[in-house]
Amino acid sequence: MEKNSAEAQSDPGERVITLDTVLELWSRTYNTEGKPDWSHILPYYDNDVYFRDTVQELRGMEEFKAMTERLTKRSKELSMNIVNAVQSGRTVFLEWEMTIKFKKNPSSIIYGTSRLTLTEDGKIAAQRDYYDLWGDIFDNIPRFGKAYRRFMKKRFG
């Protein structure tokens, strides 16, 4: 594993991702008075970005930007704590805890990881997020969370 300490730029107008850049950008993206703001991070994504998580799969900057806008609109509050981050070559892994509050529900903590794949130019070409959306949300519903976990353990554990 290697950690880049400086942001390499071949052209002053190009924005290149390093591990330090990722940590700084993600902390600003999700901790802006409850509402996330991706405006400062979008320039670091490749125009042909591929994104996938447990809910959706999409390609291209237009679809990615629309997804970030939907998440902002849907959530009353959203914050993220980066627990661990490592970089090996052109791959960055983040372990995170995202606290999300939807409009009519209590806050839920979702535990997950993101794998960022960088282009040779240092842009984010792909982002794959891994998390258990329903399990983490159900854990915050009295009685239902325990029943869900019992069911999962009995059926799949």
Contact 115, 124 (CB under 8 A): no
Rg (CA), the chain: 17
**Pairwise pLDDT comparison (71 vs 8), residue with the higher score:** 71
Q: How far is Cα 35 from Cα 40, in angstroms, rounded to an integer?
A: 14
In a domain, 109, yes or no: yes
In a domain, 39, yes or no: yes
**Pairwise pLDDT comparison (15 vs 47), residue with the higher score:** 47
Looking at residue 80, its pLDDT comes to 84
Looking up residue 89, the CATH number of its domain turns out to be 3.10.450.50
In a domain, 70, yes or no: yes
The residues that bridge with 123 in the sheet, in sequence order, are: none
Looking at residue 88, its pLDDT comes to 96
In a domain, 60, yes or no: yes
pLDDT higher than 90, residue 149: no
Which tens digits make up the pLDDT trace of 43-92?
999 999 999 998 899 999 999 999 998 888 877 778 888 999 999 999 99
In a domain, 146, yes or no: no
The residues that bridge with 33 in the sheet, in sequence order, are: none
pTM beyond 0.85, yes or no: no
Looking at residue 31, its pLDDT comes to 65
Domain count, the chain: 1
pLDDT higher than 90, residue 93: yes
In a domain, 85, yes or no: yes
Q: How far is Cα 82 from Cα 68, in angstroms, rounded to an integer?
A: 19
In a domain, 139, yes or no: no
Range of the structural domain that residue 92 is part of: 19-132
**Pairwise pLDDT comparison (89 vs 14), residue with the higher score:** 89
Q: Exposed (0-12), middle (13-18) or buried (19+): which is 19, by Cβ within 10 Å?
A: buried
Which tens digits make up the pLDDT trace of 97-107?
988 877 666 77
In a domain, 96, yes or no: yes
